[in-house]
């Protein structure tokens, strides 16, 4: 055990403490030893950090849901917030770093190097899901 799940808990507390009114609802349905590839853990932490930054700086969210578990034999992380949404397509096409989605390509590259995939689902309506 390397403290990966503890690090996620610490990260959640750090953001809640730094941003009054923010509530992070965390559900972990995985054991640390079930994450076989060691490259996946830092990629997951990086994406979580990036999404939390977006939720606190840009979206105005006061609630973030984080789910971590297994989907078949793959680790799956789903993060949703209730902030303002946006259309990520123009930012991605232009190569702009607009929040989480704009900065996901480097994170995606790191994740894919670890046999992982990252997707950003957002709309011009409230909320975002990564």
What pLDDT digit, counting tens, does each position of 32-85 carry? 999 888 888 888 898 899 889 888 887 888 999 999 998 888 888 888 888 876
Taking 90 as the threshold, does the pLDDT of residue 93 lie above it?
Answer: no
11-29 pLDDT, tens digit per residue, is 999 999 999 999 999 999 9
Domain positions in the chain: 4-129
What CATH number does the domain located at 4-129 have? 3.30.565.10
- Element spanning 43, H or E: helix 40-54
- Lowest-confidence range among 3-12, 29-38, 85-94? 85-94
Indicate whether 101 pLDDT > 50: no
Nearest-angstrom CA–CA distance, 39 and 47: 13
Q: Is the pLDDT of residue 109 over 90?
A: no
Residue 115's region, left for phi above 0, alpha for psi from -120 to 50, else beta, is left
Residue 52 near residue 13 (C-beta atoms within 8 A)? no
Q: Which one is predicted more confidently, 116 or 30?
A: 30
The pLDDT of residue 72 is: 83
């Amino acid at each position: 055990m390397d403290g990966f799940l503890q690090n996620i808990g610490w990260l959640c507390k750090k953001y809640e403490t730094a941003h009054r009114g923010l509530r992070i609802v965390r559900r972990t349905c995985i054991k640390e030893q079930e994450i076989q590839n060691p490259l996946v853990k830092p990629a997951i932490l990086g994406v979580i950090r990036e999404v939390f930054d977006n939720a606190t700086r840009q979206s105005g969210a006061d609630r973030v849901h984080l789910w971590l578990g297994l989907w078949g034999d793959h680790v799956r992380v789903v993060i949703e917030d209730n902030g303002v949404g946006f259309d990520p397509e123009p930012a991605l096409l232009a190569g702009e770093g607009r929040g989480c989605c704009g900065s996901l390509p480097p994170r995606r590259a790191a994740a894919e190097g670890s046999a992982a995939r990252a997707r950003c689902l957002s709309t011009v309506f409230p909320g975002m899901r990564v």
